[in-house]
Amino acid sequence: MGNARMHIHLSNNSNNKINQSINPWSVLRLFLLIGMLAQLPFFSGNASAASKEQRFIPLQPIINAMNPGEEITLKPGMYLGPVNIDKSISILGDASVMVVSTDSSSIQSTSTDSAGSTINIRADGVKLQGFTVLHQHGTPTAAIQVEANHAEIKDIHIQTQGFGILARNANEGFFGNNVITWTGSETTSSSQKGNGIDLYNSHRNQIEGNEIKGMLDGIYMENSREAIVQGNTLLHTRYGIHCMYVDGSYVLDNTGEDNITGAMIMGVKNTTVTGNSFRKQSENVHSQGILLYDVHQSSIVDNIVEGNRVGMNIAESTDNDIRGNEVLRNFIGFQLVLAEGNRLNQNQFISNVIDASAVDSSDNEMSSNYWDSFRGLDLNGDGISEMAYGINPFYEQLISRNSAYQLFFQSPGMVFLSELFTEGKENWSTDQSPLMATAMEPQLQPDKSKDIVPVWVIGVILLSFAASIMIYSGGLRK
C-alpha cells in the first residue's frame, strides 16, 4: 500500500509539473511563430518582386546627363524606357544590356506617332549599338523610332510586339546586322503585326545584314529613293522585301524563305534587283519568289527563285532587263501579265511544273534561255537550237478550268494533247534561240574524264579473276 501511495503521489507531481509548463502565453507565442513562418514565402515573393523593380535602371536621366557628341557604354543591367534622344550621342552595350518598355512605363510625347516607342531618336547623328531592346507594345509603336538623319543602328537585338525600326523623314542612315523578331502571340494575324524595318519618305539609307523573322513585312520602303538593301535574311513574313516608289535603289544578295512573297517590287524605276535567293514561298495561293508590278527600266539579274508557287511574276512592267536568273522547281517558273517590251535573256528554267505563262503580253524579247523541257535541234554545234521554243498555254488554261488535271502533268496523254494544241501560236511568247545545255556552275556537273576507270577495264579485271577461280577450282577437284 505504501508503495502504491508513493506511486500515485509521484504521478500527481508529474501532472502538476506539466500543467505548470503549459502557459497560455507560451502557446500564443508558438502560434505567432508558426504564422510568421507561414508568411515567409509571401514576404519572400514580394521582396523578389521589389528587387526586380529595383533592378530597372531609368535610362532617360542617363541620356539627359550626356553632352552632344559624347559616347557611353552601358553597364550590364535592365534599363527602363521609353526614352527620347534629342542630341547627337552614342549609346553602346552588349548582350548583358536590355532596354525595356513595359505596359506600365510610358512617356508623354509631342509626337503622337512615336508615343510609346521604346527609343525615340530626334537628333541627327545618333548611334545605337550592341544591346537588346524589348518592346512590349503593339502597333503603331516601335522598338526604335527614327525621325532624324545619319542614324546608325547596328548589332541591336530587337524583340517586339509592334514595329522593329520605324524611320520617318530620316535620310542617310545605316541599319545593319540587327536581329528583329516578333514576340507576340503566334496566333496574331499578319494585319496586326508591324514591319521589321519600315521606311517612309527616307532617302539614301543602307539596310544591310539584318535578320528579320515573323514580322508583317521584313523590310518595307515607301517613297524612299536611292536605298541599298543588301545581305538581309527574311523569314516567315508576308513580304520579305516590299518596295513601293523607291526609284534608283538596289536590292542585292538578300535571302528569303517561307514568306508569302520573297520580294514585292512595285511602282519603281531604275532599280537593280540582283544576287538574291528566294526559296520555298509556296504555302499561300498568292506565294511567289519575286513579284514585279509596275516596274520600269530596271535590272533583275542573277537571282535564284526555287521551290515557289510562282518563281517570278512580271505584271504591267515594261523595258526591264531580266537576265541570268535561275528558275528552279517552281510550280510556274515565269508569269507575264500585261508585260511588254521586256528582255528575258540567259535565264535557266529547270524542273518547273510549268516553265512559263504569258497573258496579254507582247513584244517581249526572249532569247538564249535554257528550258529543260524543250528538245531542240542544234545543227551547227554552237549550243543554240535552230528551232524556236514557244510557251504553250494549253496546260495552264486546262488547269485553270479544272485544277484536278494537275494530276496528269507530263503524262503521255497530256504531252500529246499539248502538242496538238497550236491555236494562236503566232501570239505565243517565244524564245527564238533557246540554249541546248544549261549554264549552271561547272562543279554541279561532275567531270567524267577525271579519276574514273573505264567500264571495260573493270570488266576485263573481273573476267580474269573469275577465270582464275574456275581454273584453280578445277585443279583442286582433279
End-to-end distance of the chain based on CA atoms, in angstroms? 122
- For the chain, the domains span 76-418+427-431
Across 90-104, average pLDDT = 89
- Rounded to two decimals, the pTM is 0.76
**Banded model confidence at residue 98, pLDDT cuts 50, 70, 90:** very high
Q: Which residue has the higher pLDDT, 150 or 2?
A: 150
CA nearest neighbour of 166 among 116, 237, 104, 132: 116
Distance of CA 438 to CAs 88, 125, 345, 349, 447, Å?
54, 50, 13, 9, 15
pLDDT value for 138: 85
State pLDDT tens for residues 329-342.
998 899 998 999 99
pLDDT value for 457: 54
Least confident window among 225-239, 322-336, 413-427: 413-427
pLDDT value for 296: 97
* CATH fold for the domain made of 76-418+427-431: Pectate Lyase C-like (2.160.20)
What grid cell was written down for 3?
508503495
Instruction: Inform me whether the pLDDT recorded for 444 exceeds 70.
Output: no
pLDDT value for 153: 98
- Cβ of 250: how many Cβ atoms within 10 Å? 17
